[in-house]
């Protein structure tokens, strides 16, 4: 019953979107594929870059990389897929990654609730009159992620995080914790 009481307000928020009656299952599937492909490409590119940065100079160096290079990598892949991409999290490191609206917060809460219930949070598609937004959960998937986002971060890395992100809230995670979500927004197409 508690689960239902939590999910109902989320469903209400999402159902208040203006629904295009011409958007069918095939359209939703197409947008989900575009969003999923873009999210996977970005995740793979960033993971490769961060892994290389870790090997080159350790976790503190990887934080430096993320602060200067992650956004250009993300933007280049977004352009390739004709979408806009954001990472969102209520425990964000970069203030630009804070949820920007009620949909973002509702989706993050839905993902957290799914995980708390023992399941894997699933991707979600939300649409309105002009755009389609694909949300994919970001889960801490590797032990290496905890070098910058865990509970036992080396002092040099913490110094770099504090210098680059004075209002950092993205620590204290454990393996398999929900870290946030990819938010991929696409214009509706009539093709």
86-123 pLDDT tens trace: 999 999 999 999 999 999 999 999 999 999 999 889 99
Query: How many Å apart are CA 185 and CA 127, to the nearest integer?
Result: 9
Going edge to edge, which strands form the sheet with 84-88? 84-88, 178-187, 131-139, 124-127
| 158 close to 59: Cβ distance less than 8 angstroms | no
Q: In whole angstroms, what is the distance from residue 44 CA to residue 40 CA?
A: 6
Q: What is the pLDDT of residue 65?
A: 85
Q: In the prediction, which pLDDT does 7 show?
A: 43
Residue 11 pLDDT exceeds 50? no
Give pLDDT tens digits for 57-89.
999 999 988 888 888 999 999 999 999 999 999
% of the chain at pLDDT higher than 90: 69
As given in the structure block, the two tokens for residue 1 are 């019953």
Kindly tell me if the per-residue pLDDT of 169 is higher than 90.
yes
Q: pTM of the entire structure?
A: 0.85
CA–CA distance, 38 with 83 (Å, rounded to integer): 8
Residue range 169-185: average pLDDT? Answer: 96
Q: Tell me which long-range contacts 122-128 makes (C-beta under 8 A, separation of at least 24).
A: 123/32, 123/35, 123/36, 125/28, 125/31, 125/32, 125/35, 126/14, 126/17, 127/17, 127/19, 127/20, 127/23, 127/28, 127/31, 127/188, 128/17, 128/18
For CA atoms 106, 177, 115, 117, give the dihedral sign: negative
Q: What is the per-residue pLDDT for 23? A: 61
């Amino acid at each position: 019953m508690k689960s239902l009481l939590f999910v109902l307000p989320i469903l209400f928020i999402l159902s208040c979107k203006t629904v295009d009656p011409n958007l069918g299952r095939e359209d939703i599937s197409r947008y989900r594929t575009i969003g999923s492909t873009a999210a996977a490409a970005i995740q793979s590119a960033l993971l490769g870059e961060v892994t290389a940065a870790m090997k080159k100079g350790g976790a503190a160096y990887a934080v430096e990389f993320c602060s200067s290079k992650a956004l250009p990598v993300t933007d280049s892949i977004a352009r390739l897929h004709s979408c806009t991409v954001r990472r969102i999290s209520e425990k964000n490191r970069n203030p630009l990654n804070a949820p920007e609206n009620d949909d973002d917060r509702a989706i993050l809460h839905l993902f957290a609730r799914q995980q708390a219930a023992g399941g894997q949070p699933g991707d979600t598609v939300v649409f309105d009159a002009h755009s389609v937004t694909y949300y994919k959960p970001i889960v801490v998937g590797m032990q290496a992620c905890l070098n910058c986002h865990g509970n036992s971060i080396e002092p040099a890395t913490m110094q770099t995080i504090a210098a680059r992100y004075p209002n950092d809230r993205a620590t204290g995670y454990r393996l398999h914790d929900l870290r946030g979500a990819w938010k991929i927004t696409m214009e509706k197409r009539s093709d």
